Each structure stands twice: as structure tokens, then as C-alpha cells.
Structure 1
Amino acid sequence: MTQTALFLSLAQFLTSLGFMLAFLALELGLAWVLLYLRLRARAGDASWMLAYRFWVRVYALSLILSFAAAIPVLIQLGTLWPDFMEKAGEVAGPLVAAAVLTAFVFKSCFLGAMLYGQRRLSDGTHTLTVFMVVVGASLTAYWIMAFMAWTQMPIGASLVDGRYQVRSWLPILGGRLAPTLFGLMAVGGLMVAAALMLAVTAVRTRTRPSDEGDRRVYATGVWLLLVCILAQAALVVNLGRVLMPAQPARAAAVVPQWHSTPSAELTVAAWPDAERQANDWEWRWPIEAPGWIARDPGGEVRGLDHFSGMTPPVLATYWTLRVALLAGALLALIAVAAWWRGWRLGHEPDGLRPLGRAALRLSTVLACVIQIAGFAHVFIGAMPYAIYGTVTLRELDAVTDLGEHAAITLAYVLVYAVLLLGFYQLLRHITRYGVVPVARRRGRA
């Protein structure tokens, strides 16, 4: 495989995977939000039910896109990396099958009743249906995260004659990395959902007075966003403690540490140059690098020169992490400001100023950037390995015509761009005009 073909394969696969993970996270976050709204609506407050009926439509849109995006990922796993299942099928096959089976069983059995059976079911039965949809979405996401975690830390299986054989499923499913990645996806999905709730409320109340449902959604979004930011910060710290010692080349790229030296300092910002093996410019933090930076037996900090070319793309690894952290800091400022305003003036969206409404709309973009940049860092930082430490991407060669490969990659990008635009337009429409029930009469809809 040439360098260009490898780049196109990675661009195509990561685009599809990122699109799927983004909407899977939103689907998971909205599912938990809907369960909360439905439980509050059981108390008899009509405002909570109005909020539920609005956001269940947004959930349905995200569900359709996440389900549709999963199909290209499964196809590309076989067409772009045809030898992957040959080497790791004993691990990947059951996990992918479990994710597909869970999605079909729970969504086939409970999703229709949740979306269309509210008027035909009792409150308790419909609430239970919503809960089962949440369980299905959570299990589906967990199988996917367990698979991704295993490619980052291949524990619980041994490489025998070029193929992985499972020794025990317990470390694969319950190791430290799989629950952490699932927690990041679940909390990240809730963060995106909370930011979206605030942004939609800010837009809805710009041209009309708010109702009780808007105020409830606004207050819920503020508190949920603040809690999610704190929870995700803790999960990111735990992820670093688990992943960085296991992947010392990633840790060196994060500093970045080009050469082995007795000590190292983290940089706040820099522009790494892989050809010169130095930074074009840098802003260093005046403290020693943390303990997860790998050291040799002599106590020296291992630089990128220690790993004999088996290092990730330094610039992408470095800046995906910085972009995620910067977006998280900006989102935290917006969340604190929204909480402070709510504490002082009450959670009344009608009183928002234009700058405040713009900040709440920006919060959705920042929450999405955090998720995309964070998962991009996880995958890019493991390169050049497909299964860390053992199987490289070049071994999973899928040699194709470069022109055809580039055209297919561009087509995927365009399709995903159109789908994103369609999602935005539909969300904008229901935000502006609300949810209009359709009356069905005999012989016509």
C-alpha cells in the first residue's frame, strides 16, 4: 500500500467512523434525557410532556443517522482492511455481532412503541418502554467501545500464528479502558444533548415568549451541561492514566518530546515539525512533565527518537488533544456563566441577551468539537497500529486504484455533508415551528 492509498483509506474510514460515533453519542445522550423527561412527566406536569414530545423527534432524527452511518463502517472494515477480520475476527466478530443484535432487538421491540405507542399505552408501560430503549442504546454503545478499547490495548487475547485467540472475555469487556471510553461517549452524548437543549431554547424564545416547557428544558440543560463537564474532565484524567503508560509513543507526541533527555516540560501550545524533529515555535509550561511520560531504566524521558519510526503523526496527535481541551475550557466558561445567570435571575430564557443566545448556540459546536477531537486523538495517537503493538495498518493492505479510491472518499464526504445539512435544516424547522401533530382520518392522513 502506498502512502497516498493509506491516507485515503484512513480518511475514508475515520470520516465514516467519526460520523457514526457523533450521532451514536447524541442518540445515547438524548435517550437518557428522554427517560428523565418521561419520568418527570409521570408526575402529571404537562410542561414536561411537552418537552418530551419535542425532543423525542430530535432523538428519532439522530437515531436514523447513527443507524445509517453504521452500515458504511461495517462495509469499510471489510473493503479497506480486508485482513483485519482474519487476524482479529475471534475478538471483533462477537463484539460487532453483539452490537448489531442489541441494536436490532431493542430497537425493533421497543422503539416503535416508544415513538408511536404513547397514546395506546399506560404511563407506566410507556415509561418502561423508554427505559428499555435507553438500555438498548447503552449496550450497543458499550460493545462498540469495548471493541475500540481492545484495539488500543489488546488484552485478554493472544496472537498465535498471526491470529488473535481469546483467552478470557473478562479483561476485554471489563478492563479499565472499555468502561472509560464508554463513560466518555455517554457523558459526551449527554453534554451534546444538554448544549443542544440550551441552543434550541435560546432560538425558540428569540421570537416568541417562553412557556413552562422552555423554562424546564433550559434549567435542565444548564445543570446537565455543568455536571457533564465535570464528569468528562475526571474521565479524561483517568483515560490519560490508563492509555499514556500503555502507549509511550503517544505520550511523547503529546509533550512533544523529540529526543530522550533527563527531564521534560509540557508545552501549552507548539507547532511540531516532524522533518526537523523540533518545534517551529512553542509555549512551554514551567513544570516537569507528569509521571505517565515513559522513562528508560536510566531515568531518562523517552523521546520520539526512541521508537524507531513507529510513532503516531505528531502534529495531529498533539493538536487534536489541545483542540479538545481548549473547546472544553470555553464550554466550561459558557456553562458557568449560564449557571450564574440562572442562580441570580432565574432560569428564564426570555431575558437572554443577544450575546448570551449566541454563546448558547456556540456551546453545541464546542460540545461536538470536544467529542470529535477527543476520539480523533484516541485513534490517531495509536497509529501506525491498527491493533496497538502488534498489527500495523500497512499489514492490512487493500490496494486499490488511487483515482477510484479518491473519488469514493470524496463521495462519502459529500454524502455526510448533505446528511449534516439535512439534520440541521430539520432541527431548525421544528425549532422554529414546533411539533405539529398530524390528525389521521379515515381514508387519508
Structure 2
Amino acid sequence: MTQTALFLSLAQFLTSLGFMLAFLALELGLAWVLLYFRLRARAGGASWMLAYRFWVRVYALSLILGFAAAIPVLLQLGTLWPDFMARAGEVVGPLVAAAVLTAFVFKSCFLGAMLYGQRRLSDAAHTFMVLMVAVGAGLTAYWIMALVAWTQMPIGASLVDGRYQVRSWLPILGGRLAPTLFGLLAAGGLMVAAALMLAVTAVRTRTRPSDEGDRSVYATGLWLLLACILAQAVLVSNLGRVLLPAQPARAAAVVPQWHSTAPADLTVAAWPDADEQANDWALESPFEAPDWLARDPAGAVRGLDHFSGMTPPVLITYWSLRLALFAGALLALLALLAWWRGRRLGYEPDGLRPWGRGALRLSTALACAIQVAGLVHLFVGAVPYAIHGTVTLREIAAAPGLGAHAAVSAAYVLVYAALLLGFYQLLRHITRYGVVPVARRRGRA
């Protein structure tokens, strides 16, 4: 297989996987936000029911897009990486089956009642349906992130005659990496949901007075955004302590440490040049080389030259992490400013100035950028391995015709771009016109 074909296969698969995980995270975040709204509404708050009725539509949109993106991911596992299941089917098969089964069981049993049965169920029964949908979204996401974590750190299974055999499911499901990645996905989904709530409220109240639902969503979004930023900072720190020592090539690319010599200073920003094995320019940080860089028995730090070409793309690995951190710092600053202004205004969105509304809309773009950059770093930083340290992408890749492969990849990009545009347009429509009441005789919420 040529390098171009391998790149196209990886780009196509990561596009589908990233699209699925992004909307799965948003679905997961909105599911728990809706449960909060529903609990507050059941306690007697009419404004919370207004918020629930609006945001349950957004949840349905994200669910449909996440489900639609999951099908190409499953197909591409067989078409792009046909030998993957032969190598790791004993681990991958049960986790994929658990994710699919959980998604279908919870969505078949509880989702319809949640979306369409509100007027036919008691408040307690409908709240229970919302709870079960949130639990189902969480379980589905956990199985998927456990699989991602295992490919990054293949513990709990042994490679015997070229095939992985499970020794114990406990480290696969409950090791440090799987819960951390799930926590990041959940916190990221809640963060995007909170930023989206603030942006939509800012747009809705620009042309009409706010109602109780807008004020409830605005206050909730401000507090939730701050909490999620803090949670993500803690989880990212924990992920670095777990993942970087286990993947020394990724760690060297993060610095970047080009040569196996004395440790280089961790740079704030640089432009790595893989051909020259050096940085074209760099802005040095005042911090010393981190402890998680791998060292040889003599104490010298292992640079990228130590790994004999089995290194991730340095430029993408380096900058995806920096972009996520820079966007996170800017989002934290905007969130603190918005929270401070919100408290001064009594959480009244009508008092927002035009620059404040623009900042809230920018926060949504930053929250999405953090998730995209984080996913890119997680997956691209593991290249050239499909299962870290043992199975490479080249070993399991198919060999399709280059022309057909490029055409299919372009088609996927166009389809996903159209779906994103459709999601944006539908969100813009319901933001502008609100929730259209449905006839009572049809029994819909």
C-alpha cells in the first residue's frame, strides 16, 4: 500500500470517527442537561419545562447525526482495515456489540417515550424515561471509549500467534485510561452543550425579550461551562500522566525532542520540521523538560530519532495539543468574564451588550475547537499504530484503487459538511422561531 493510500484511509476513517464522537459527546451532554431541566420542572418550575421543550429538539438532532455517523464507522472497520478484527476481534467484538446493543435497547425502549410520550405519562414516569435515556447514552459512550483506550494502551489481553486473547476484562474496562477518556468525552459534551445554550440564548434574546426559560438556561449554562472547563483541565492533566509515559514517541513529539541527548526545553509554540529534524522557529518556555519524557539507562532523554521512523506526524501531534490548550485558555477567560457579567446582571440575558453576545457565540466555536483538536491529537498521536506498540496501520490496511479511494474520501467529506450545515440551519431555525406547538390529539410532547 502506498503512503498516499494509507493517508487517505486514515483520513477517511478519522473523519467518520471524529464526526461520530463529536455528536455522541453532544448527545451525552444534552441528555444529562435535559434530565436536570426535567427534574427542576417536576419540582414545579414552569420555566424549566420551557427549556426542556426547546432543547429536547436539539438533542434529537444530535442523536440522529451521531447514529448516522456510527454506521460508516462500522463499515469502514471492515472495508479499510479488514485485518483489524482478525488481530483483535476477541476484544473489539464484545465492546462494539455492547455499544450497539446498549444504544438500540435504550433507544428502542425509552427514547420514543421520552420524545413523544410526555402527555401520556405521569411526570414521574416521563422523568424516569429521560433518566434511562441519559444512562443509555453514558453506557454507549463508555463502551466506545473503553475500546479507544485499549487501542492506546492494550492491557488485559495478550498477543498470541498474531491474535489478541483476553486475560481479564477488568483492566480493559476499568483501567485508568478508559474512565479518563470517558470523563473527557462527557465533560467535553457538557461543555459544548453549555456553550451552545449560552450562544442560542444570546441570539434568541437579541430580537425579543427573554422569558423565564431563557433566564434559566442562561444561568445554568454559565455555571455548567465553568464547571466543565475545570473538569477538563483536571482530566487532561490525568490523561497526560497516564498516556505520555506509555507512548514515548508521542511524548517526544509534544516537546518536541528531536535527538536522544539532554532534554530540550518544552516550547510554548514552534514550527517543527520533520525533514530537518529541528524547529524552524520556536518560542521557548521557562519550564524545564517534563518528567514524563522517556530516558535510556544512561539518563539521556529518548528523542524522535530513537524510534526509527515509528513516530507520529510531529507537526499535527504538536500543534493539535497546543491549539486545544490555547482554545481552552481563551474559553476559560471568556467563561469567567461571562459569569462575572451574568452575576452582575442577575442572570438576565436582555442586559447583554453586542460584544457580550458575540463572545458567547465565540465560546461555542472555541468549545468545538477544543474537542476537535483533542480528538485529532489522541488519534493522530498514536500513528503509525492501530494498537499501540504491536499492530501498525499498514499491517491491517486494505489496498483499494487510489482513484476510487480518493473519490470516496471526498464524498464522505461532502456528506459530513452537508450534515453539519443542515444541523446549523435547523438550530438557527428553531432559535429564531422557537418550538412550534404540536396538536394535542397526536399525543406528542
Q: TM-score range by the shorter chain?
A: over 0.9
- The 5 A counterparts of 1:363-442 are 363-439=363-439
Name 2:101's counterpart in structure 1: 101
Tell whether 2:217 aligns with 1:217: yes
Give the Å deviation of 1:419.
Answer: 0.3
3-state SS of paired residue (2:119):
coil
**1:160 & 1:293 partners in 2: Cα distance?**
30
Give per-residue Cα distances to partners, 1:321-355, cap 9 Å, x unaligned. 00100110111011000111122221111111111
1:333-352 equivalences under 5 Å are 333-352=333-352
SS in 1 for 2:120: coil
The 2-side partners of 1:364 and 1:284 are apart by 30
What is the alpha-carbon distance in structure 1 between the residues aligned to residue 261 and residue 224 of structure 2? 44
What is the CA distance between 1:117 and its match in structure 2?
Answer: 0.6
Matches within 5 A, 1:59-98: 59-98=59-98
Residues 14-413 of structure 1: pairs in structure 2 closer than 5 A = 14-413=14-413
Q: Could you tell me how far 1:397 is from its partner in structure 2?
A: 2.4
SS in 2 for 1:172: helix
Aligned-partner residue type, residue 81 of structure 1: W
Alpha-carbon distance in structure 2 between the residues aligned to 1:440 and 1:126: 17
- Residue 158 of structure 1 aligns to a residue in which SS? strand
Give the CA deviation at 1:441.
5.6
**Deviation at 1:259?**
0.5
Could you give the per-residue CA deviations for residues 277-311 of structure 1, whole angstroms, max 9, x where no partner exists? 00000001122111111111111111101111111
* Structure 1 Cα separation of the partners of residues 178 and 318 of structure 2: 23
| Separation in 2, partners of 1:220, 1:5 | 47
Amino acid at match of 1:381: G
Deviation at 1:238, TM superposition (A): 0.2
- Deviation of 1:440 after TM superposition, in Å, equals 5.7
- 1:368, 1:326 → 2: CA distance? 13
State the alpha-carbon separation in 1 of the partners of residues 441 and 351 from structure 2: 42
Look up the SS of the partner of 1:17 in the other structure: helix
CA distance in 2: counterparts of 1:400 and 1:5, whole angstroms: 8
CA distance in 2, matches of 1:357, 1:88: 49
Distance 1:302 1:286 in 2: 21
Separation (CA, whole Å) in 2 of partners of 1:341 and 1:279: 42
Q: Distance in 2 between matches of 1:291 and 1:399?
A: 41
1:374 alignment partner AA: G
Structure 2: distance between partners of 1:332 and 1:32: 22
Distance (whole Å) between structure 2 residues aligned to residue 139 and residue 397 of structure 1: 30
Equivalent pairs, count: 442
CA distance in 1, matches of 2:351, 2:208: 12
**Partner of 1:287: helix, strand, or coil?**
coil
Whole-Å separation in 2 of the counterparts to 1:441 and 1:206: 34
Report the 3-state secondary structure (helix = DSSP H, G, I; strand = E; otherwise coil) of the residue aligned with 1:165: strand
- 1:439 Cα offset (Å): 1.6
TM-score, structure 2 length as denominator? 0.98
**Once superposed, what is the RMSD of the aligned Cα atoms?**
0.8
1-side partners of 2:87 and 2:58: how far apart? 39
Q: TM-score normalised to the size of structure 1?
A: 0.98
Q: Render the CA deviation track for 1:388-428: whole Å, top value 9, x for unaligned.
A: 00000000120011000000000000000000000000000
Counterpart CA distance in 2 for 1:419 and 1:286 is: 44
Amino acid at match of 1:402: L
Q: What CA distance in whole angstroms lies between the structure 2 residues aligned with 1:277 and 1:12?
A: 28
Quote the Cα distance in structure 2 between the aligned partners of 1:356 and 1:345.
12
Give the partner amino acid of 1:308.
S
* Corresponding residue SS for 1:346: coil
SS of the aligned residue for 1:288 comes to: coil
